[in-house]
């Protein structure tokens, strides 16, 4: 097996293992449809100079969720809701810096980084 193949296998295997060992489960809801999926809570730091000097902004939270776990929904949409294990509710939203509500975590496109804001 070549080194390239090893890296390819690892990049596919690792996100799922991180979700299983470092994450938990959340309820992902769009309208009346809800699914329990594995997820890892995270945060994104972003820089903005929209109102003067550059400042660092932290969103309420991000969730890392495998693309395959959200197959029933397709790509995340603004307004989708994520409820964590303690009952906190987060809504999928764009960031204050103009970044989209979600992006892939890397070039393999097997995991989403979903930006959220706590709403309840």
pLDDT-derived band at 55, boundaries 50, 70, 90: low
Q: What is the CATH number of the domain that holds 88?
A: 2.40.10
pLDDT exceeds cutoff 80 at 8: no
Segment 103-116, tens digit of pLDDT: 999 999 999 999 99
CA dihedral 15, 18, 23, 24 (to 10 degrees): 70
Q: Which two tokens stand for residue 55?
A: 């400042």
pTM of the model: 0.75
Per the structure, the complete domain to which residue 46 belongs is given by: 3-118
What is the total count of domains within the chain?
1
């Amino acid at each position: 097996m070549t080194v390239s193949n090893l890296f390819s296998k690892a990049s596919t295997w690792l996100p799922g293992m991180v979700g299983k060992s470092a994450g938990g489960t959340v309820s992902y809801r769009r309208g009346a449809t809800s699914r329990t999926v594995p997820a890892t809570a995270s945060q994104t730091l972003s820089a903005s100079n929209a109102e003067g000097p550059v400042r660092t902004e932290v969103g309420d939270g991000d969730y890392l969720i495998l693309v395959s776990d959200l197959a029933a929904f397709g790509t995340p949409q603004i307004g989708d809701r994520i409820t964590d294990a303690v009952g906190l509710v987060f809504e999928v939203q764009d960031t204050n810096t103009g970044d989209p509500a979600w992006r892939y975590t890397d070039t393999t496109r097997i995991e989403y980084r979903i930006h959220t804001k706590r709403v309840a």
